[in-house]
Amino acid sequence: MKPAPFAYVDPRSIDEVVEHLARHGEDAKILAGGQSLMPMLNLRLARPSVIVDLNRVGGLDSITERDGVLFVGALARQRAVERWATPRLPLLAAALRLVGHTAIRNRGTVAGSIVHADPAAELPALLLCLDGAVVARSRAGERQIIARDLFHGPLMTSLRADEGVVETRWTLPPTAAGWSVREMARRHGDFALVGVAALVILARGAIARVRIALFGAGPVAVRAEAAEHALAGQTPKPALIEEAARLAVERLEPMSDLHAPAAYRLSVARTLTARALADALARASEGGH
């Protein structure tokens, strides 16, 4: 369990980083927190010829809020974001607490987890749920990719080989929003067998806006748009929640693996969606948090 040989570079600026990416393309891999990459290197499942270590690039670990948007630098550790989010964005904080263990979150980055695009990871689904985006940089410049355009398949994104993510962006919901994140994992800290994040904003007793995002329920994290449509504008009732949960899983095609067959994931996705909506609605009717 030692990596295959690779070259290592540790540039000091983003410009240098994208130069390396432009030069090596698919053969290069960015190292940020290393919590997914290092095991894959040691198992020789990933064999990049060049590791571009992001950790010596200055200024990438910032966490800032501006005009209702949270900006998270590519090197911001999950634990730092969790601390920031605990009083301000409890949905994200709760989701982060489900990511591995503290020691993992002390190293792992938010951006790294998102671009790794593991279908069972929490953060890609959270990016969908919070109308987020990533900012990708290449020699050609910067572009923003919104969450729904980012995830293409298991461990696959729409990022080009010459692009690196420098920032993730998250829309901050109003403080009165209700939220919930629920997942089923074999053990605390494991990748979820299946999970769901939900965000609900009530206006005069009716559902003004709702976001539901599922993870571990298919090749990529997905928004449950049919369920969101069914809920929008409605007054919450148990039957409506059940119907939304049914719609949320209607088109899903989860995978089977050692830990659970697809049918299990489908059944539990529905159960957890109903529970998450109930939680979120309860929080929303109490005025959030």
Partner 1 sequence: MGAKYFGAAVKRREDPRFLRGEARYVDDVKLPAMLHAAFLRSPHAHARLGAVRTEAAARVPGVVAVYSFGDLERWMKPLPLFGAPPPGLAAAVKFEIRQAQQFPLCRERARYVGEIVAMVVADTRARAEDAVERIEVDWEPLPVCVDLVSAAEAGAPLVHEEWGTNLAVGFRHAVGDVATAFAAADTVMGETFHIQRYVGMPIEGRGAVAVWDRRDGTLTTWNSTQVSHFVQQGLSAALELPPHKIRVIAPDLGGGFGTKASGYAEDVLVPLAAIRLNRPVKWTEDRREHMMSAAHARHQVHAIELAARRDGTILALRDRIWLDLGAYNVWGIVLPYNTVAHLLGPHRIPSMAVEFQAVVTHKTPNAPYRGAGRPETVFAMDRAVDRLARQLAIDPVEIRRKNYIRADEMPYDLRMPYRDGNPLVYDTGDFPAVLESALRASGYEEFRRAQAGLRARGVYRGIGISGYVEGTAIGPFEGATVKVDLAGHVIVATGAVSSGQGHETSFAQVAADALGVPLDWVTVIGGDTAAVPFGVGTFASRSAVTAGSSIHDAATQVKEKLVKAAANLLEAAPADVDIEDGQALVRGAPASAVPLARVVQACIPTFARPGVASPDFEASAYHHVPTVTYASAVHVAQVEVDVGTGHVKLLRYVVSHDCGKVINPIIVEGQVHGGVAQGVGGAMFEEMVYDDEGQLLTGTLMDYLVPTATDLPRIETVHLEYPSPRNPLGAKGLGEGGAISPPAAIANAVEDALAPFGVTIRETPESPARLLALIEAGTT
By three-state DSSP, how is residue 104 classified? helix
Phi-psi region at 117: left, alpha or beta (left = phi > 0; alpha = psi -120 to 50): left
By three-state DSSP, how is residue 176 classified? coil
Does the footprint of partner 1 cover residue 186 (CB under 8 A)? yes
Write out the binding residues for partner 1, residues 112-171 only, by CB under 8 A: none
Question: Phi and psi (nearest 5°) for 265?
Answer: -60, -40
Q: Binding partner 1 by CB under 8 A: which of 11, 90, 189, 219?
A: 189
Q: Binding partner 1 by CB under 8 A: which of 84, 179, 191, 215?
A: 191
CA 206 to chain centre: 28
Whichever of 42 and 234 has its CB closer to partner 1, that residue is 42
Choices 2-10, 63-71, 141-149, 213-221; region in contact with partner 1 by CB under 8 A: 2-10
Helices (H), 117-156: 122-129, 147-150
- For residue 281, give the nearest of 222, 192, 210 by alpha carbon: 210
Q: Binding partner 1 by CB under 8 A: which of 123, 268, 276, 281?
A: 268
HSE-CB for 210 with a 13 A CA cutoff: 31
Choices 147-155, 221-229, 232-240, 268-276; region in contact with partner 1 by CB under 8 A: 268-276
**CA angle (118, 192, 274) in 5-degree steps:** 115
Does the footprint of partner 1 cover residue 187 (CB under 8 A)? yes
Q: Binding partner 1 by CB under 8 A: which of 184, 201, 214, 247?
A: 184
Choices 39-47, 68-76, 148-156, 168-176; region in contact with partner 1 by CB under 8 A: 39-47
Whichever of 167 and 183 has its CB closer to partner 1, that residue is 183
32 DSSP 8-state letter? S
Q: What does the binding site for partner 1 look like in residue numbers (CB under 8 A)?
A: 1-5, 39, 43-44, 184, 186-191, 193, 258-261, 263-264, 267-268, 271-272, 275
